[in-house]
Structure 1
């Protein structure tokens, strides 16, 4: 009888354990979205959290992009957390809805003209880029600019400030960090472009023939939606304000992490998606589960200093700050 009782006790544990699933994924080094172990990779952390909420463990390998795709095709890996969608890959991969975007912004020294909307407008200019970064072929089609490859954004910034480059291309996520944590440096040293040269949605993708592939993708999409509204995105991205459609009504809201909104309406925020079909609204605020239409109706209890209340000390743990 005692043995039978112990068996019943262990059955729920065995059942729960059986619900956990491991999935082998691979990604290349693509900061700030993916990186080696110990370095911040925002896309990797978002995907890991969304999968964990569905009882799925991510086994991740970081390698070169070609080995990633070769490994997926030969079955070594079951997918990738950070892929662009292409017609060819859709033949054998199931894609999630986009959960982040890669958006490249033009950055110049203070006083520079950063109004260009494509490289074709920057004839003979020296453009610092990250070598090996997945910019896409459209960035390289113009031969009238001088592309200067570098190993990091920090190195490219140094080239820009020492007049070894005229401009640099920077992902908008890093720009959001600079505007949040280093606004004084931005005002003193840099000019930031308003429009992205390149916009590519990021997807989680898995092989169509793995067990429950569609179920995994559906669960991932549902968890991503929840993470956009419950503060998880802000926490992982280490940003106070993000913009997304938290209630699914087609109107974008500014979503706060925590309950310290700042004394004034946010001057900058990170847009998760540049979905043109959405109704743009910079005056809708989502705070602690409530939507407020207009800054004037946001309760006074939330209008406290962000940096002090969040105890950030003007320094993100991600290490994305640049040295000027």
Structure 2
């Protein structure tokens, strides 16, 4: 019997057994729990077998040494030598066991190691059980690692690396300084200044209008479908701002609660929120461009409003309607500039 054991196949079959047990479990939490159970069962079996298995291995090595006998036990020669050396005396170095005793049987008898009938067959039988348990444990550990990841991505989330977080304060500062510097060196009268400032406001608004849907789509894709956390930091908005973006995407009112994180992917799919494969790379770029446009818009509005105040006063004396038509805005905009609350 002992010469027919194919330990590689034995280990593969034991691993396949674990594979079959876990294959039908789709729920990630149940899968992890069962993988932990299989791991613990294998650990307990290994613990219960190890002492007797090691004693039998040592007995074979000391009482019935033979060429390649370690292969019959499913272990390497050095493993067998370490086990046998530990059985007859403490090891100074587990990686380099001492030479074999001159009289192995005598050393075994002195250490109180029994020599039962049918020793080799007993040792092989226990070695088979031990190797099977070890293979089941290793397979369970492998599946457990994947199960932990599945739990972390429960609900259909895709794993992504940490998303870049641009320095939005610096982006806004530079954009503001650029437009202020442009108008600071502008050699033009108040009418031309107002025209150029109004154009800058319109251009910034057009950029924002084009970028905002792209930013929100990328943000929602990351927030609903991936493992990314705190993506509002990569979008240049607050946590509450991100919540409002998500509420709009799901068609929820401002005071409604978002679905729980595990339920969000399904809710987003039902609402038609698209998954964007490149969202993690694109969001920081889109958000940076949007925040720069927002900063330029704010700065341009300030310059435009200052020009309005100049033109509405003497000696120019432009009326509200004339200014509104000039900047292509409703007259109420001019009223708010001239008469702020």
The bucket for the TM-score relative to the shorter chain is under 0.3
TM-score (norm 1): 0.22
Whose Rg is larger?
2
Structure showing the higher strand proportion among its residues: 1
